[in-house]
Every structure is written in structure tokens, then in C-alpha cells.
Chain A
Amino acid sequence: MSRKNERLVNLTIALLATKRYLTKNEIFRNIEGYEGSAEAKERMFERDKDDLRKLGIQIEVGGLDPLFDDEAGYRIRPESYALSLRDLTPTQVTLLSLAAQAWQDAAFTDLSQQALRKLTSIGLDTDSSQLPVMAPKLIGADEKLRSALDALTSLTTIEFDYLNIQGVAQKRQLQVYGVQARKSHWYLIGLDTEKSAIRNFRVDRIQGVVTTVGKTQSYAIPVTFEIAELEPVIETPLAVLQVRPGAGYQLRRLATTIETADDWDLLEVPIFDLDFITNLVLWHGEDVIVSSPVQLRSAVVSALEKLVKIHG
């Protein structure tokens, strides 16, 4: 194992140091560790190339000279090998370190630690004097999110069981386009391949594990895709609610208008999701009355009737 590591490091050094493409023969002749028959060397080199690519090192193939032979040559460009974040100020280094440290969850520590080591290897001092006291934490990130982000970076379709609104798990396939942390939950946004439509999925509603389907690089994120455009902005229907003064804090935060009065305040609340608003109205019991729409009003009334009946 140690010999193989040694060979991989030597191969990296040689391919980085060369100004021109090195042919396989040059590599086998000059780089230590390639031994055995021609075929054995060949196999060794193929595996080594794969391994370096798995580490994210880009090996460039080229140098085909039609006048001589058609043997390919190899090199690693220093500019693709090295960290491209350049001319960083100490404040920027601090910001990057804070960003790396924001991942607290076990599923991400190896990743952020590796990134952090690379950043500290720049050898720049950090400077937090320009920053307010900050220790941001990305919360609730788990293996499922990690698997989804893996798939997002390699553009691989994922498959998982998702709890639908009836509480039944259904198999879904998704090409992840983006990720969102909103209202304390993680969401995956992308193309639901079965429905051929953009959908979002709350990560904690995924049952079991996230698996990949098919090959890497199997899709592209449309350049026109914007998460912000998925936000409901216009023509959301409004619920008109009567709310007791001093009550309904959560509803007031959602309200677009609030008219205060002595007995009941009048709130207009956008209905992004009828079930959500129904439950929120019920949470507030006798402190909230639904004036309109009828749909919401009857949903609340029939829920209350059922509650009275089963608890009577």
C-alpha cells in the first residue's frame, strides 16, 4: 500500500513539474514504481490515473503529434491542481474558515476539516477583528443531506422513499438542482423525473437512505433555474381572520395586513398551503375565527366538530 502511495505521489509530482506532455513510455521509464511486464505497467497506470481523478486531480491528455506517432501524453496543469482562491485578505480567510466550521454534524466533518486544512495551508493569518462575533452553525444536516449533496456535485440522479401527506412512503427519483435551508428544515429542489416537474422535498421526510441511480454527470442544471422564482409571489389567495387582540402571534407574523379593533383584530394572511393554515388556526382555538374563504372556514369548522365529538 505504501509503495502504491509513493508511486501516486511521484506520478503527481512528475506530471505537475513537466512543461510538456509526458508519454506513457517516459512515465514508465522515469517514474519510480512502474515494474513488471508491459501489460502490468499499463494496468497499473490506468488504475493510478483513475485514483488521482477520484481525488479531484485533473490529468490532461494531449500532445498528439501527427508527424511522429499517435501516442498520447499526460500532464497536470499547476493552475488546475492548486487552490484557485488567490490574493485572499486575512478577513476573507477568516470568513472561509467560519464557513467551513459551520458544518458541525458528523456527516460533514471530514469534508469541512479537509477544506479547512487546505485553507490553513495557504499560510495566511486570519483576522477576525473586522467581524462581529459569529459562530454560525448549519443545523440538522445529516447523512441523507450529505448523500444528496454528493449527488448534486456529481450530477447523479437520486432515489429515496418519501413520506407523502397521508403518511405513506413512496419511491421518488430526483435530479437535484439546489438546496435550501428554510424555517429550520433542509429542502432539496430539483426535477422529479417521474412527474417531469420541479418539486421540492423536505430532507427529514425522506425515509431510510438516499441512493444513487445511473451514472454520474447524467444531467445538467438548467442555467435558467432560480430557487427564488419558486417562491410564491403573486396571487396567493388571502385568508381573512378575526383574531383576539394580544393573541395569534404566529398569524400576525404571516399577515400582510392587520387592522386592530377592540374585540377582534382583522388579519389578512396569505394561504401558501391550506393544510398549514388550517392547522395554525386550530392551534389558536377560540382566539381565531375564519371569515373567508369558505373552504378554510368549513375545514376548520368540521375539524372542530370532529374534535368535540371524539373528546365528548
Chain B
Amino acid sequence: MAKQESGLARTARLLDLVPYLTTHQGIAISELAKTFDATVKEITDDLNTLWMCGLPGYTPLELIDLEFESGFVSIRNAETLAAPRALDRAEALSIYMGLDLLNAELGGSNTSLVSEISNLQEQLRSQLISAPQVQIEASLASELRALILRAIRRRGWLEITYHSAANDQVTKRQVAPYELSQSGSHEYLQGYCDNAKAIRNFRADRIVAVSEIADQLWPSNLVTANDEAIDYEVKVHAASRQVLEVLPQISANSTTATIQGYSAPWISRAILSLAGQVEATAPTEIRAAVHARAVAALENYH
């Protein structure tokens, strides 16, 4: 699975071109180049090489017969190599893991598909030496994902039920979704939120429910993101792993940091959760908010 040096990668491509051409007779060289992520020149060189290959004897009877002068490729006399090559272990594992994700997204909702998937996984498993264990969790159930993708495609509105960790609330919001994207290790739904009258990112794993809203016009003139950034400063008392993960802007050896945040409640909760390993030094409102919440929480115990 190590990246092959270019020579071997080319051998692999030569071998894989034959079965692909066999089932895609008449394909344009340019399209072939796109499929194989190569240049037209590289593919033309490949075809010229393959044309010299065949069974021992190497007379026209044994050689692979290729035609491509017209810019469209057809192949004959290549039965020996006509079957697609087996997936190597790495490819088999990557497909196996992808299937595991499909399975997780379906969440048992479609039993016939689930059994097709496990059947395919069983077949792939036999190709992996010493079967590894794989367990993939979905960030979004397939029916929610389906509704979101459909709304993005149709430019429709959704009502999403969303849990905001900063406000510790589950609310319903009307959203015109633009895209599902990923950032760091999370998946986000980006869209225009009618409640906030602004573009918002929603973490996919915090979307609790999704429903479609019929016949509502898509926002025509997009409002620019009007999130106001809040710059805050912290003093680091202990740069533990948790601190570095909650506030990745802090580097391991620094004692102070200036960080850009977007939500005052989120910032003060984050500082609280870090249990005094990090101190909010500015602005005073954030510092005061942390203090006030800690005092109120402590009073619960007296």
C-alpha cells in the first residue's frame, strides 16, 4: 500500500487499462486520461507500449490489438488480461471501511441493503490477511443526510432541530442549506439560518432532526456572515492535552494566548470546563462571566 514509485505505478496502469478498455470500447483517449488521472501523452505512451505486448511468440496473432489513431480506443485479442485485477489489501480495507460507514448510516433501516452490505464485507474480508477489526460510526443518519442533500440540490428550506452546546439548548431553526463540509474532525452543515438572519455552521452530529419546509423561497441576496468575532486572552496554567484540544490555538509551550471566538457563552463554558487550567484574562466581561458562573455553581454546594 506504500506509494509506488512511478515505474511500478505505470505498470499497474498498463495492466488496469486492458480490462477497463475491454468494457469501455470506443472510449476517447481524453476521457481515459481523466479516468486514470494521467495526461493524454502518458495514456498514448501506455497504448503504444501495450500494443507491443502479448503472448510469447509476439506475432500479430499473439499481440494485443489496439486501435486509437482516431482518438478513440478499441481493444481486441487481450483476453488474458481482460479480468480486472484483484483489489490489493489496502484497497480492500478502504472499501470495507466505506461499507461499514454505509451500514452505520443506514442504521438498520433498510434490511435488504444491510444484508447486501454484510455479504460484500464478507467477501472482502477473505482478501485481508488476518482480519482487522473495523467499526465506523456515522455522524449523520442516512435519512437526515438524504433530506439535507435533497434540500441543497433543490434549493429548499429545512427545519432542523439542533443542539447548541454553547447555549445548552435544543432549538428548531429554519435553514436554507448550502453545503455539507468538513473541517477538522467534524462535519458541518452550512446554511443561511433565518432565526439568526445570518450564515451559520451546524455540527452534523448535533443535528437531532430534520424536516422539509415546502414552498419557501430561497434567500436571494445572501446576507454576509455577520458573526462578530470576540478576541479574548488567556493565561495558561497547565497545557494539558485537554487544554490543547479544547483551545487548539494554544501551543504546547506558550503561557498566554490571544484567541478569536464567536460566542461569549461558548468561551466562558469552555474556560469553566478546563477546571482552572486556563484563566480568562481579557476582556473583562468574559472574565467576569466565568467568575460569576463559578461562584453560582459553588454556591450550589454550600
* Chain A residues within 8 Å of B, Cβ to Cβ: 1-2, 4-6, 8-10, 12-14, 16-17, 30-32, 51, 54-57, 78, 80-85, 89, 91-92, 95-96, 98-104, 108, 110-115, 117-123, 130-140, 149-150, 152-155, 163-167, 176-186, 189, 204-205, 217, 220-221, 225-228, 246-250, 275, 278-280, 282-289, 297, 299, 301, 303-312
Contacts and interface: CB of A to CB of B under 8 A. Distances in A.
Given A140-B184, A308-B294, A283 B273 contact: yes
B209 interface: no
A14 B80 CA distance: 9
Interface stretch (B189-197, B215-223, B241-249): B241-249
B159 interface: no
Contacts of A10: 53-54, 56
Contacts of B276: 303, 306-307, 309-310
A177 B131 CA distance: 8
Contacts of B214: none
Contacts of B243: 167
Contacts of A167: 238-241, 243-244, 252
B188 to A, nearest CB: 10
B89 A153 contact: yes
Interface string B86-112: 111111111111110110011000101
Contacts of A100: 94-95, 98
A14 B89 contact: no
Residue in B11, B145, B165 whose Cβ sees the most chain A Cβ within 10 Å: B11
Nearest to A284: B168
Interface residues of B, number: 126
B101 A221 contact: no
Name A's interface SS.
Answer: helix
Residue in B54, B56, B137 whose Cβ sees the most chain A Cβ within 10 Å: B56
B205 A165 contact: no
Given A95-B116, A133-B150, 8 more contacts: A10-B56, A92-B119, A95-B117, A99-B95, A118-B85, A139-B185, A221-B131, A311-B287
A310 B280 CA distance: 9
B45 interface: yes
Given A139-B139, A286-B297, A280 B273 contact: yes
Given A130-B113, A289-B301, A227 B133 contact: yes
Contact of B97 (A89, A179, A285, A310): A179
Contact of A308 (B10, B270, B291): B291
A118 to B, nearest CB: 5
